[in-house]
Amino acid sequence: MTFVSDLESVNFRTEFLYLHMRNMFWRDLILLRSPLDVSQAATPKMSGSILRPEELPEIRHLHLFRDMTQASFETLMASSYAQNFPQGLEIIRQGDPADFLHIVLEGSVELFAQGAGRECTMAVVRPVSTFILAASIRDAPYLMSARTLERTRIILVPAPDLRAMFRRDTEFAVSVINELAACYRSVVRSAKTLKLRNSRERVASYLLRQSLLSGGATSYTLPVEKRLLASYLGMTSENLSRTLRTLEADGIKMDGARVIITDREKLTALAQLDRLIDGPDAFSGQSGSGLPAAEQ
Amino acid sequence: MTFVSDLESVNFRTEFLYLHMRNMFWRDLILLRSPLDVSQAATPKMSGSILRPEELPEIRHLHLFRDMTQASFETLMASSYAQNFPQGLEIIRQGDPADFLHIVLEGSVELFAQGAGRECTMAVVRPVSTFILAASIRDAPYLMSARTLERTRIILVPAPDLRAMFRRDTEFAVSVINELAACYRSVVRSAKTLKLRNSRERVASYLLRQSLLSGGATSYTLPVEKRLLASYLGMTSENLSRTLRTLEADGIKMDGARVIITDREKLTALAQLDRLIDGPDAFSGQSGSGLPAAEQ
DNA sequence: AAGAAAACTTGATCGAGATCAAAGTGCCGG
DNA sequence: CCGGCACTTTGATCTCGATCAAGTTTTCTT
């Protein structure tokens, strides 16, 4: 039963180990589900599995949890667990039953999909936000897999508690409705981008949108590796690399992961940003289907 | 003020007329919003704008409305309108404010998206189901446009009434949550198909999935025109036509809009259906993002 | 039933983007 | 500080799917 703390130091490599470890992990969490058990489990070895008091306000601040009663919030948190994961760990495999709503507190998580022998990035989730709300509500299998991109701390809210809660707390139900509607719209936007824009347009609009997200910065750092960005935008990294190069004729200059907008007017003309695809309420989506905002 | 009944006989052609008519239409509906006004407006000329009593059970039967109290249901319906539209009319333009939840009672509606000078089909909605739930809940602009594919009867439920209702009726709130979560998952599936499968795989899996939807029929009729199917699958109609032709080597035979599965085993091997993309709960989605089931 | 307008098919060609291959670059651990 | 590994870039080539251009069939209109 030392695997939980081991997680933080060991770099699991083989597929077999991943699966084995994950099975143990879920089973143990489930065995410990009641609040009482959690506190009993609060030995040094299980230190990863209790919420720290200072984390609660950050969670409470999320749209999803902002409007519920304090009592409801505390009940939900009392049945939740925190867990730290090392970098590069697949914490969710698509197809598995969705037992928990996940909240990223530190680190970052890539949501990706597999199929037809391929794999693609669907979103990257940064603190503080939730993911796979829909699956946990429908009590259905995950449609996406998730892996940590760095050392990551996650809160796990049991799906049954979640479902019980929005029946008891109307304000929470309304929050869930709003969150789901926002997520839905976010994926629709992303489907529209895939169907309506070619790869050059997707890159250009992404770059300009990121600049606007950083308050119109002329220069910013890409929030994710180019490899991930390419996959998210539905292209190969070779193609992204070449596209970025050719965009130097249209107002963009790259310097490593740094984007410098040299001619905003030209870029704006090219990107053809669309209010319905690129904002403004696309920005609010926490976990719908997007990449995090860029750092300045 | 005779335009409402005119709608059914006149075939509007020009973009200008479309817009003009639509603007009048919305404005008038809004002016007539309270139930009292509706009944006053129930002159022969406005006959399209009241619900027929026999339609209520059909609506009530939808997942979305099934679990709410009878009183809530009646209240919601009392503030709703029915409207008949002729074929080929754009009833929603993307970007407009979402004032109503739409319920298709007869006919069919294409949801499509425009941008970057292109256009693509996102879904086709058949009776009895709802569409644009998310936009009306968020009080946000529509992300998709909608046009009738034939003469279509639609119920319009005012968005503010909808939002008021799920605050008052918890069971309804839960239904909305479930519906939105299902819609979300449906779009994610469709995004996965776009990103992970090439066009041949999309066609093959679509054809096999339709067969399974019709209870494993060896022969069925495509539920929509090939033109629309192509756009929905993210390809040109020329390419769809050619792909269908080449699939004759893999267990499919086309005869007009009729699909005949000649070698199910071969097709199954090719289509590589994925539980997470192609079912089973993909079937339940009423209005998420898909095409209707095929007729046998 | 005739004519017109869509929808669909087929062929020829083109090009965006994928794939394959090989450097080049940066980052992390020892 | 060095070595290794993953990320990135660049080049060459290929392929899938778009585009353009006729035809053919079906459907709608008159």
In a domain, residue B121? The reply is yes
What is the distance in angstroms measured between the alpha-carbon CA of A150 and the sugar C1' of C28? 14
Q: What's the half-sphere exposure (Cβ side, CA atoms, 13 Å) at A205?
A: 24
B201 and B105 assigned to the same domain: no
B39 and B104 assigned to the same domain: yes
In a domain, residue A223? The reply is yes
A79 and A32 assigned to the same domain: yes
Supply the pLDDT for residue A296: 62
Window from A166-175, A212-221, A278-287 with minimum mean pLDDT: A278-287
**DSSP secondary structure letters along B94-160:** TTSB--EEEEEEES-EEEEEEETTEEEEEEEE-SSEEE-HHHHHHT-B-SSEEEESSSEEEEEEEHH
A215 and A81 assigned to the same domain: no
A257 and A222 assigned to the same domain: yes
The band of A2, judged by pLDDT with boundaries at 50, 70 and 90, is very low
Nearest nt to the B149 alpha carbon by C1':
C6
Indicate which CATH number applies to the domain containing B157.
2.60.120.10
Supply the pLDDT for residue B9: 24
What is the distance in angstroms measured between the alpha-carbon CA of B104 and the sugar C1' of C5? 28
Residue of B nearest to A186 (CA): B184
Over 60: is that where the pLDDT of A20 sits? no
In a domain, residue A296? The reply is no
A156 and A217 assigned to the same domain: no
**DSSP secondary structure letters along B145-209:** EEEESSSEEEEEEEHHHHHHHHHH-HHHHHHHHHHHHHHHHHHHHHHHHHHHS-HHHHHHHHHHH
Query: Do A129 and A64 meet the contact criterion of CB atoms below 8 Å apart?
Result: no
Nearest to A177 among B95, B180, B275 (CB): B180
Query: Do B29 and B81 meet the contact criterion of CB atoms below 8 Å apart?
Result: yes
What is the distance in angstroms measured between the alpha-carbon CA of A49 and the sugar C1' of C28? 29
Distance from CA of B199 to the nearest CA of A (A): 12
How many Cβ atoms from other residues are within 10 Å of residue B234's Cβ? Answer: 18
Indicate which CATH number applies to the domain containing B247.
1.10.10.10
How do residues A242-262 score in pLDDT, each as one tens digit? 999 999 999 999 999 999 999
Nearest nt to the B239 alpha carbon by C1':
D17
The single-letter code of the amino acid at A77 is M
Distance from CA of B147 to the nearest CA of A (A): 17
Supply the pLDDT for residue B276: 75
Helix (H, G, I), strand (E, B) or coil at A107: coil
Supply the pLDDT for residue B201: 95
**Of B186, B213, B237, which closes a domain?**
B186
In a domain, residue A290? The reply is no
Q: Report chain A residues whose CB lies below 8 A from the CB of B201.
A: 116
In a domain, residue A72? The reply is yes
Supply the pLDDT for residue B295: 64
A163 and A261 assigned to the same domain: no
Q: Three-state SS across B38-96?
A: HHHCCCHHHHHHCCCHHHHHHHHCCHHHHCCCHHHHHHHHHCCEEEEECCCCEEECCCC
Q: Report chain A residues whose CB lies below 8 A from the CB of B196.
A: 113-116, 118-120
Residue of A nearest to B274 (CA): A115
Supply the pLDDT for residue B280: 61
Maximum average pLDDT range among A9-18, A48-57, A129-138 = A129-138
Helix (H, G, I), strand (E, B) or coil at A67: coil
In a domain, residue A285? The reply is no
Mutate to test the interface with A, among B166, B177, B197, B202 (most CBs of A within 10 A): B177
Contact yes or no for A272 and B184 at CB 8 A: no
Supply the pLDDT for residue B132: 93
Work out the mean pLDDT of chain A and round it to a whole number. 81
Nearest to A274 among B115, B181, B192 (CB): B115
Give the C-alpha separation, B115 to A276, whole Å. Answer: 9
A28 and A173 assigned to the same domain: yes
B167 and B239 assigned to the same domain: no
Q: What does the DSSP 8-state code read for residue A141? A: B
More confident residue, A26 or A168: A168
Query: Which structural domain range is residue A249 located in?
Result: 197-278
Q: What is the rounded average pLDDT of the residues A178-194?
A: 94
- Residue A34: both structure tokens together: 């009641």
Contact yes or no for A194 and B192 at CB 8 A: no
Helix (H, G, I), strand (E, B) or coil at A123: strand
Strand D nucleotides within 7 Å of a protein CB: 7-12, 16-21, 26-27, 29
Residue of A nearest to B284 (CA): A138
How do residues A115-168 score in pLDDT, each as one tens digit? 888 999 999 999 999 999 999 999 999 999 999 999 999 999 999 999 999 999
Among A131, A123, A87, A89, residue whose Cα is nearest residue A107: A87
In a domain, residue B63? The reply is yes
**Of B154, B186, B218, which closes a domain?**
B186
Chain-centre distance of CA B33, in angstroms? 24
B116 and B231 assigned to the same domain: no
Distance from CA of B3 to the nearest CA of A (A): 30
- Residue B138: both structure tokens together: 């968020």
What's the structural domain count of chain B? 2
* Residue at token pair 């075939």: B11
Over 90: is that where the pLDDT of A172 sits? yes
In a domain, residue B179? The reply is yes
B25 and B161 assigned to the same domain: yes
Strand C nucleotides within 7 Å of a protein CB: 7-12, 16-21, 26-27
As averages over each run of 10 residues, the pLDDT of chain B (296 residues) reads 25 25 33 33 44 92 96 96 93 94 95 92 94 94 95 95 96 96 93 94 94 90 95 97 95 93 91 76 53 72
**Of B124, B152, B186, which closes a domain?**
B186
Q: Please name the helix (run of DSSP H) or strand (run of DSSP E) that holds residue A125, with its range, or none.
A: strand A118-125
Over 60: is that where the pLDDT of A27 sits? no
Q: At what angle do helices B70-78 and B159-168 cross, to 10 degrees?
A: 160
A183 and A201 assigned to the same domain: no
Contact yes or no for A194 and B144 at CB 8 A: no
